[in-house]
Structure 1
């Protein structure tokens, strides 16, 4: 039986891999999912912002979800949770994506705010959008707040908590890539929310800060590169070893800053350089990045944390 909300832990927002002709590279995806599962992550986010969801058609989205789930089961990780990115510009297509994600085996849907005709996306419109999707989605949804990819639309804590309170067991969490720790703290402790609710930090550079604020863990891009380090930081925090957790957080903040400036293709190029799979390819118009880009200080920062990852 699926949990009522995503369990606390580290979730990797899985990147999409492509061959040189831009077809899906499912072999690289399987290799990546195995590495993440062996690292001890609690689950995967498929077709988040790092998964190039806007570049995939519906059948490809379903194929990626089902491939990831089958790989997890094959390697004995049946308890791992799949959260599928299901955001779209219309309510109609968002609901369709939620239905297709459920059919493919996903446990939860992660839904961005629509941003087409941004001037019309006032709070009542956004509130109705999420309520309409939640009311008919066959799987519970998480609100995804990422102003950087939604033309600046930023869900505030009252809207998030209000939607969760009004849609119990339907809206069961949020991912806050906005980096607003005050918002995360307010949502995590809002007494209006009476059913299980998972508030996630959305970037590795405030993973520890989010835990202190009461987060449910992390959904962060750098977990693709060094999942064991993220799992270790959570363990250190839970054991009360704050000094060691802070040391790891310092490294993760440096790593996240290197990766965020390189974008999705850069993250894949880093995995190609340090783990020898996947390449730095994305679908156009995103351009590929060569693994040789990581030199000098960038290489020093990433190599140091990859060495730590390999030692764990």
Structure 2
């Protein structure tokens, strides 16, 4: 399998719906093209911000195919021999069998790699042996490279240990990275440090803009931050400043991004992300039921915090 280096910022894009909660693929295409005008490295579809649990299998396939179509069109328009944007698709299911089937469908629809949450429904039985067996089987039978996705907030508190992640990465070359949304920087340092020797191609990606700079400082190669959907240039700039050695500028920008990032992730989740896009770009819409949109008070708080950043994002466009 051809190496697939992960480096940079990969926005976890929302799935958009019309007034009847049907897929709005036209808006998805527009958002992907708007993001491509910044210096992102690719897209993640069907993650938590993509409302993957609320989509049917057919809808998931349509989302992946739409994103692949945008990437192919951009590649052709730019006259490139190879796509400059990678496409990662969420494929975590509650059974190993269903996860592998999802990986197969993602490959057929045009994804470059899959992002796999651990199964968590039978949380009490998801010990190290079960998780090792699950990820080994997924890596063995998936036609695409696998990125482990650790997000305890969405998996009933299941938080993958550094030793488990390192063991899987060392055992299977098809496991190429980790998206970690837990925010444990000490654990990220442990993983990045150990695998720098045994798996130098393995990429640790911060799962939030809230700790992007600390993660980069301990060896992460980029991030999958929801905030990059709204402020792609400024999130990218944190990494660019870090890589240029302009650490004080990177620190100041990181600190400024934290309050808005917290509002769009921990506080309001996907409803806040879509509301921010509506305020910034005139599209976003509602989450799919049962998730409710922001109320007027929440919207006012978001609008106030977004205002300064929105002006800067447009001026850098």
TM-score, length of structure 2 as denominator length: 0.93
Q: Contact 2:89–2:106 at 8 Å: present in 1 too?
A: yes
> What's the counterpart of residue 272 of structure 1?
278
- Are 1:174 and 2:178 an aligned pair? yes
- Are 1:150 and 2:155 an aligned pair? yes
- Are 1:202 and 2:207 an aligned pair? yes
Q: Contact 1:251–1:305 at 8 Å: present in 2 too?
A: no
Distance 2:4 2:245 in 1: 25
Distance 2:62 2:206 in 1: 28
> What's the counterpart of residue 23 of structure 1?
22
Aligned partner of residue 14 in structure 1, secondary structure = coil
Q: Contact 2:213–2:250 at 8 Å: present in 1 too?
A: yes
Q: 1:103 to 1:211 in 2, by over 3 A?
A: same
> What's the counterpart of residue 140 of structure 1?
145
Aligned residues: 308
Q: Contact 1:259–1:267 at 8 Å: present in 2 too?
A: yes
> What's the counterpart of residue 10 of structure 1?
9
- Are 1:185 and 2:189 an aligned pair? yes
> What's the counterpart of residue 70 of structure 1?
69
Distance 2:178 2:281 in 1: 31
Q: 1:266 to 1:74 in 2, by over 3 A?
A: same
Q: Contact 1:5–1:173 at 8 Å: present in 2 too?
A: no
Aligned partner of residue 295 in structure 1, secondary structure = helix
Deviation, structure 1 residue 270: 1.0
Deviation per CA, 1:208-255, whole angstroms, max 9, x where unpaired? 111101101010111111101111121111111111111110111111
Q: 1:292 to 1:32 in 2, by over 3 A?
A: farther
Deviation per CA, 1:230-288, whole angstroms, max 9, x where unpaired? 11121111111111111110111111112121111111011001110122x11111112
Which aligned pairs between 1:100-115 and structure 2 lie closer than 5 A?
100-115=105-120
> What's the counterpart of residue 34 of structure 2?
35
Distance 1:186 1:295 in 2: 41
Aligned partner of residue 75 in structure 1, secondary structure = helix
Runs of 4+ in 1 over 4 A off after TM superposition: none
- Residue 244 of structure 1: which of 226, 246, 249 is its match? 249
Distance 2:245 2:21 in 1: 46
Aligned CA RMSD, in angstroms, stands at 1.5
Unaligned runs of 5+ in 1: none
TM-score, length of structure 1 as denominator length: 0.95
Deviation, structure 1 residue 194: 2.9
Q: 1:291 to 1:70 in 2, by over 3 A?
A: farther
> What's the counterpart of residue 46 of structure 1?
45
Unaligned runs of 5+ in 2: none
Q: 1:34 to 1:256 in 2, by over 3 A?
A: same
Q: Contact 2:61–2:106 at 8 Å: present in 1 too?
A: yes
